[in-house]
Structure formats: C-alpha cells, structure tokens
C-alpha cells in the first residue's frame, strides 16, 4: 500500500503475481481504478496471460485488459489494465502511448504504475528513461520490478529510484555520483571522459532505499532441484587452428605499434568477434552439441548463441541431424512469438533476444555454444529455465575450445561470479 516501492526479487520468484495481488487489494479498497504496466515487448503478451490466469481464479473480481487497442475507455467497477511496450518510449509519437499518458495525468490519484525489468531505464541520459520518468510523475502508486537495481554499478540505481519518487534521492545525478560512486578521469585520442570504478557510502545508500525496497533471491524462498554445470572442451581442426593463430599473430603485431597508446574498446572487440567467427565454424562444436543431445534425448533443449552467423549455421544443420524434432529459431529478425515456444523440442536462441523475462522452465537442458562477457546475460539466460515451479534438474553445458578466446571468457565470468 505504500506510494512507491521496489520489488527487487530474483528471477523466478513471482514478481508479476506480487504486483497483481497488490493491485487487486488496492482496487478492493477503492484506492486504485487503473493499473498501467510498462514492460519489454517480449513480455507484454506474457503479462496479459499472467493477468488472465491470476485474476480469473479470484471469485467475483472484475477487470479489463487493454493491449494495443487504439481506443481507451474506462469501465466503472472494474480494474482497468493497460499494457505498454517500454520500447515505445524510445520512438516518436504513438497514439496509444499518448492516450495512456493522458489517462495517467487525469487519473493520477487512482493509478498504479508498474515498471517491469526496470533496469531497462538505468541510463538517465536515454530518451526512454526521461520519457518514462516524465510520464509517471504525479502517479500515486508506483512499483519497479527487477532482479536487482544494480546491473553494472550503483549508478544504475539512480534513475530507477528517481522513477519511483523525486524524494528518495532529492538531488541530481552529479550529486548522487559524488555521494555514492567512485570515479576516475580517463583519456583517449579523442579527449577525456569519466568512468565509474567502484562504490562508496553503501551503508548510507542502503539506509535510504531500505524503507521502500523488498529483495529476495529464488534460493531463499523455495526448494528447487539442482543446477548441474558441465564444461565440454574441444580442439580446433588443424585448418581452423592455423587461421586462428594467424589472426592472433596479426592482432599482436597491430598492438605492438601502439605500445604507448590506449587500445580503444571497439578496436579490441572487433578483433575478438573475428576470433569467435573462426571458432563458430569449427565442426568440433557441432559434434559436442550432438553428444549432449544424445545424452538427453527425451528432454527439451535450448541452444544459446551470441552471434547471427552461428544461428544461420545451426538453421542449416539441425534439420538434417534431428529430422524428427520440432525446432524453433529466435533472433536476427525472426518474428516467432516468444510466448509459444514451449511446444518445441529444440529452441535455438540469441542471448540478446531471449535472456530476459521469458519463462522457459519446460526446457531442462541449456547448451551454450559460447558465452558473452556480460554477467547480466549469463544470470538472466540461466534463469529462463530455473524458476519457481521447476521440478527436475537443470543442465548447463558450456562448449569451450581449448587455447582460444572461449577460455578467456570463462575466466572473466568466473571472476565476475566471485564479485557478485
């Protein structure tokens, strides 16, 4: 019943149902007539399904869901629910979004605004963040839902709590940084910039947000089956090893001429991407996938990818190797409805597309063709299959080519796990 509150609940702990139950109680007390949900596009349909599932089981509870409908009309004696795509706030004029904004402005005292996956507004500089904070200003009841407000550094939390209320941190981002963020001035050939290197005064930060924050991890609220991690090592074929080593030599040679200069991140990442391209076309990785699927013939499998060229290769190979299996591909502009993939036997998915918000707990085998550097992607993708309601062991397989960049990524993620 508080005016602003943060549910920082781990993936799979039931944030959606907590928010829906609170909206129902506020409606029963005649405090809320409108519920507005802002969520990533891939989750909007899931919200609609969760609303119907939850509220249909409550006797004599009246509600109406509006999603992608051009005309908004409030119905008396019903909880009027509107679902918005968070990406719409990054774009230009949108008639539906404009009408919901107008609705929140006129019905601000009886509106509950829920921002799902609130880390999507972690940057105060983005247009999306500014538009969402502006749209929610004046709404009486506001909630943020996320596994954690901090995904990279404590600076991420400022915009999310700023969305909830101007009174939690009643000062600008620069002052917040001065109080809680350790920064360092860096230089590159184009000038200087300030980067975050750590946090400070965390006891003060915690005391400020504690009254309006509830946090819990899935391990603390339910007994779930085991996670089983396995690393499968492979060797590059002689021809690919030769190409890989030549690329490494070229990379080192190009760096040698910049001994006293800083290496820019885009330069390094473009080289790393080329390393991945060589590894991803090696037969040993695809043979490892075959071995894993042979071990789990009766289980549903997700193959996680990080590059589009890997998706194209698996799209060509899998139908030949698994002709009797139902196979789906998500990523690279594929328009498949992400909420209807559980009838598949094998799901091939780009991590950037499917690592947030989806409930894929019927898939109990996860194969990582390769990993990304992002700890957030690692945790989020693993949580798609390990959620509240999971009843059998969940397997995670990492396919790692020996003496390649795969090993470096594994080591980086291991160090980040210790940090988390």
Closest CA to 160 of 148, 139, 183, 144: 144
Our CA angle for 237, 240, 241, nearest 5°, is 80
pLDDT at 334 over 60: no
8 A C-beta contact, residue 39 and residue 117: yes
Percent of the chain topping pLDDT 70: 93
Q: Which helix (H) or strand (E) holds 82?
A: strand 79-85
DSSP 42-70: HHHHHHHHHHHHHHHTSTT--EEEEES-S
Contact 243, 278 (CB under 8 A): yes
Q: For residues 280-303, give the mean pLDDT.
A: 89
Q: Give mean pLDDT, residues 128-150.
A: 91
**From CA 4, how far away is CA 19, in angstroms rounded?**
12
- Average pLDDT of the chain, as a whole number: 85
- What's CA 144's distance to the chain center, in Å? 14
Mean pLDDT of all residues in 37-45: 87
In this structure, the dihedral spanned by the alpha carbons of residues 293, 295, 297 and 300, taken in order and rounded to 10 degrees, is: -60
Distance CA 147, CA 215 (A): 8
Stronger pLDDT, 32 or 192, i.e. the higher one = 32
Q: Is the pLDDT of residue 325 over 50?
A: yes
Highest mean pLDDT among 23-32, 41-50, 194-203, 322-331: 23-32
Q: What angle do CA 390, 386, 210 make, to 5 degrees?
A: 110
Task: Compute the residue count for the chain.
Answer: 420
Which residue's entry shows tokens 């003496």?
403
Above pLDDT 90, what percent of the chain? 35
**CA distance from start to end of the chain:** 32
pTM for this model (two decimals)? 0.69
Cβ proximity of 389 and 361 under 8 Å: yes
- Looking at the DSSP assignment, which residues form a beta bridge with residue 327? 346
pLDDT the model gives residue 222: 76
CA distances from 261 to 186, 189, 250, 256, 257 (A): 13, 8, 18, 10, 9
pLDDT for residue 250: 83
* pLDDT single digits (tens) 252-282: 877 776 556 666 777 777 878 888 888 888 8
pLDDT at 273: 82
Mean pLDDT of 234-239: 91
């Amino acid at each position: 019943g508080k005016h602003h509150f943060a549910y920082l609940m781990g993936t799979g702990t039931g944030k959606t149902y907590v928010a829906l139950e609170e909206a129902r109680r506020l409606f029963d007390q005649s405090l809320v007539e409108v519920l507005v949900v802002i969520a990533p596009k891939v989750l909007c349909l899931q919200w609609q399904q969760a609303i119907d599932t939850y509220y249909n089981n409550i006797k004599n509870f009246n509600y109406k869901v509006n999603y992608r409908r051009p005309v908004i009309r409030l119905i008396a004696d019903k909880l009027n629910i509107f679902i918005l795509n968070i990406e719409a706030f990054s774009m230009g004029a949108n008639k539906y979004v404009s009408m919901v904004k107008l609705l929140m402005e006129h019905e601000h005292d009886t509106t509950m605004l829920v921002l799902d996956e609130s880390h999507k507004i972690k940057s105060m500089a983005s247009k999306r963040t500014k538009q969402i904070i502006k749209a929610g200003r004046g709404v009486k009841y506001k909630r943020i839902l996320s596994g954690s407000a901090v995904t990279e550094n404590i600076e991420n939390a400022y915009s999310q709590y700023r969305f909830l209320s101007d009174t939690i941190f009643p000062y600008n981002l620069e002052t917040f940084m001065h109080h809680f963020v350790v920064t360092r001035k860096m230089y590159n050939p184009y000038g200087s910039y300030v980067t975050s290197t750590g946090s400070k005064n965390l006891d003060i930060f915690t005391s400020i947000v504690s009254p309006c924050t509830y946090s819990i991890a899935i391990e603390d609220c339910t007994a779930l089956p085991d996670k089983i991690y396995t690393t499968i090592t492979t060797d590059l074929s002689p021809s690919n090893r030769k190409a890989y080593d030549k690329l490494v030599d070229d990379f080192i040679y190009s760096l040698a001429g910049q001994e006293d200069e800083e290496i820019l991140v885009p330069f390094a990442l473009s080289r790393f991407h080329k390393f991945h391209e060589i590894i991803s076309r090696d037969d040993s990785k695809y043979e490892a996938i075959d071995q894993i699927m042979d071990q789990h013939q009766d289980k549903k499998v997700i193959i996680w990818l990080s590059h589009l060229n890997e998706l194209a290769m698996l799209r060509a190979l899998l139908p030949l190797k698994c002709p009797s299996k139902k196979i789906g591909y998500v990523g690279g502009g594929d328009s498949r409805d992400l909420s209807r993939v559980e009838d598949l036997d094998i799901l091939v998915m780009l991590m950037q597309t499917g690592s947030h918000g989806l409930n894929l707990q019927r898939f109990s085998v996860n194969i990582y063709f390769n990993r990304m550097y992002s700890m957030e992607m690692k945790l989020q993708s693993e949580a798609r299959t390990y959620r509240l309601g999971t009843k059998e062991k969940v397997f995670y397989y990492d396919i790692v080519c020996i003496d390649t960049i795969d090993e470096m990524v594994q080591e980086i993620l291991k160090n980040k796990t210790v940090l988390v």
